[in-house]
């Protein structure tokens, strides 16, 4: 990490810090959104709704792999940022090494279990007779290379833990560029369809992994030599898992959410299911801009909390909330206005267009509240508020289950479509309450900083 990165974490004007830390992340996350849409775009060119549905059904697999990347990456990265604030970089190297090897082991264990139970897993994903083989082929390759995806997500968190947002962005750009190369090659030229989409994703992630390892080992100011460390004390492991498990829980419930949506949506046909898949990826563009903002600021929050600079911490949170609000209004509004021509990039099917634009409109409402919810969770994550983070993660997942079941029973397809938005509104309100409690704790720590 360059000296300037430390300056933006600790002493630069807040707006400059946000611009330096978050704009590269916003660009990187937005590029990643394009990367996530490339698979479905090139599969869409084959004009096969069953293949589109298989890609949608496979989303929980990617979410699962990201979940374990978060378990180690978010937990470890947050810990590393606080250690940097406390001027303990040597300890940070050991945490980073444990995070690296833990991610690889987790990915390999997931692959082994998946191969043993692949048919039941594909049925659990919701595949029917028409989509079963496509979904199975997609799933097998994702699981086989899953350790690469877990490691990529984990290492990206470690890079950001130092405030090196530009490096994080470059890694995301590498994945996207490689996907632009491999997707058309494997899907269209070689004719591997959904298997090609999965293979392209694994190789694209591998490119980013190589880049992140090179940076951390050769360029990082605090974490050089991290790769030689494996063992850390139980107490430090628990500090990682305190935050990481909350993230894992959040992703597990995200998988439950996706499975439930797919289960209910497929009752109304593959057109509806495919529409959910396309609409969710389009909405990710403005939604991920907000995500890039608070992800870039997490090292800022963690460093200033660790160094007990609470005034700067509060100022950073306030400015971040204002930026999230502006992004929500401006970009989500633009996506809503141009939703039809955007959707047509993925499919010219009239039935998909009609239901897809309706689904996308409700997802945009959900995204507005999700931006603030994720900001709250980012603050809790950065400052080690494991209890608050767990409450938010569990509520976001558990609440969705009765909401979608009840709304589906009462309003059918319309209830399924609106279930996410209603869940996000209620979760955001809970996040506001917990954030008020957090603010009170920070006020108390200002008077007694030895408690940090």
DSSP letter assigned to residue 190: S
Mean pLDDT value of segment 31-48: 74
Say if residues 193 and 43 touch (Cβ distance below 8 Å).
Answer: yes
Q: What is the predicted pLDDT for the residue at 20?
A: 84
3-class DSSP state of 68: helix
C-alpha atoms less than 13 angstroms from C-alpha of 94 in its C-beta half-sphere: 12
Specify the pLDDT at position 1.
Answer: 43
Residue pair 367/283 in contact by the 8 Å Cβ criterion: yes
- 416 or 48, greater pLDDT: 416
pLDDT tens digits, one per residue of 360-380:
888 888 888 988 998 998 899
Angle between helices 193-218 and 146-161 (to 10 degrees): 40
Look up residue 361 and give its two tokens. Answer: 């409109």
pLDDT tens figures, 414-439: 999 999 899 999 999 999 999 999 99
pLDDT interval class at 410 (50, 70, 90): very high
Q: Considering the chain, what is the average pLDDT of its residues?
A: 84
- Is there a contact between 390 and 249 (Cβ–Cβ < 8 Å)? yes
Report residue 2's pLDDT band, with 50, 70 and 90 as the boundaries: very low
Report the candidate in 367, 376, 373 with the shortest Cα–Cα distance to residue 420.
367
Report the distance separating Cα 395 and Cα 399, nearest Å. Answer: 6
Q: Are 445 and 308 in contact (CB under 8 A)?
A: yes
Contact call for residues 371 and 409 (beta carbons, < 8 A): no
147 vs 353: which has the higher pLDDT: 147
Tokens representing 46 are: 């084959």
| Token pair in block for residue 48 | 């096969």
Long-range contacts of 392-396 (CB under 8 A, 24+ apart): 392/250, 392/427, 392/430, 392/431, 392/434, 393/246, 393/247, 393/249, 393/250, 393/253, 394/249, 394/253, 395/427, 395/430, 396/250, 396/253, 396/423, 396/427
8 A C-beta contact, residue 182 and residue 174: no
> How far, in Å, are 68, 94, 232, 240, 248 from residue 245 at the CA level?
9, 19, 18, 8, 5
- The 3-state DSSP composition of the chain as helix, strand, coil percent (nearest 5) reads 90, 0, 10
Backbone angles phi, psi at 222, to 5 degrees: -110, -25
pLDDT band with cut points at 50, 70 and 90 for residue 185: very high
Across the range 13-22, mean pLDDT stands at 87
Asked if residue 30 has pLDDT above 50, the reply is yes
Radius of gyration of the chain (CA): 21
pLDDT tens track for 291-311? 788 878 888 898 888 888 888
Q: What is the dihedral of CA 341, 54, 58, 365, to 10 degrees?
A: 30
Residue 375: name the closest of 337, 423, 428 by CA. Answer: 428
What does the pLDDT look like over 242-264, one tens digit per residue?
877 877 777 777 777 777 888 88
- Which residue is it, tokens 């209830």? 415
């Amino acid at each position: 990490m360059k000296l300037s990165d430390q300056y933006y974490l600790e002493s630069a004007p807040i707006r400059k810090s946000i611009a330096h830390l978050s704009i590269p992340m916003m660009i990187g996350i937005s590029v990643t959104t394009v990367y996530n849409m490339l698979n479905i775009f090139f599969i869409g060119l084959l004009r096969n709704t069953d293949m589109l549905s298989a890609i949608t059904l496979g989303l929980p697999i990617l979410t699962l792999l990201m979940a374990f990347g978060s378990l180690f990456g978010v937990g470890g990265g947050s810990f590393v940022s606080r250690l940097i604030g406390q001027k303990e970089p040597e300890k940070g190297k050991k945490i980073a090494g444990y995070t690296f090897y833990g991610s690889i082991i987790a990915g390999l264990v997931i692959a082994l279990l998946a191969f043993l139970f692949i048919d039941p897993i594909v049925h659990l994903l919701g595949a029917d007779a028409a989509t079963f083989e496509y979904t199975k082929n997609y799933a097998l390759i994702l699981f086989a290379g899953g350790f690469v995806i877990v490691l990529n997500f984990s290492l990206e968190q470690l890079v950001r833990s130092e405030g090196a947002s530009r490096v994080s962005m470059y890694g995301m750009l590498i994945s996207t560029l490689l996907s632009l190369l491999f997707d058309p090659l494997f899907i269209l030229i070689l004719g591997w369809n959904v298997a090609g989409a999965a293979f392209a994703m694994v190789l694209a992630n591998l490119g980013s992994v190589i880049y992140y390892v090179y940076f951390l080992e050769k360029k990082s100011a605090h974490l050089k030599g991290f790769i030689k460390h494996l063992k850390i004390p139980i107490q430090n492991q628990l500090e990682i898992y305190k935050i990481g498990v909350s993230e894992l829980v959040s992703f597990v419930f995200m998988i439950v959410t996706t499975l439930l949506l797919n289960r209910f949506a497929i009752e109304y046909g593959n057109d509806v299911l495919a529409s959910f898949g396309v609409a969710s990826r389009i909405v990710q563009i403005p939604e991920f801009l907000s995500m890039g903002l608070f992800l870039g600021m997490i090292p800022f929050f963690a460093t200033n909390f660790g160094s007990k600079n609470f005034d700067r911490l509060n100022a950073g949170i306030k400015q971040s909330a204002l930026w999230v609000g502006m992004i929500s209004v401006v970009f989500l509004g633009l996506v809503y206005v141009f939703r039809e021509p955007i959707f047509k990039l993925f499919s010219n099917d009239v039935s998909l267009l009609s239901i897809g634009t309706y689904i996308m409109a409700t997802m945009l409402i959900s995204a507005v509240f999700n931006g603030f919810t994720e900001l709250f969770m980012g603050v809790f994550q950065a400052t080690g508020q494991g209890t608050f983070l767990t409450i938010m993660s569990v509520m976001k997942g558990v609440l969705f289950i009765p909401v979608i079941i009840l709304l589906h029973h009462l309003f059918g397809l319309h209830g399924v479509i609106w279930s996410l938005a209603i869940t996000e509104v209620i979760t955001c309100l809970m996040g506001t309450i917990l954030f008020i409690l957090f603010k009170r704790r920070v006020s108390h720590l200002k008077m007694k900083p030895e408690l940090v």
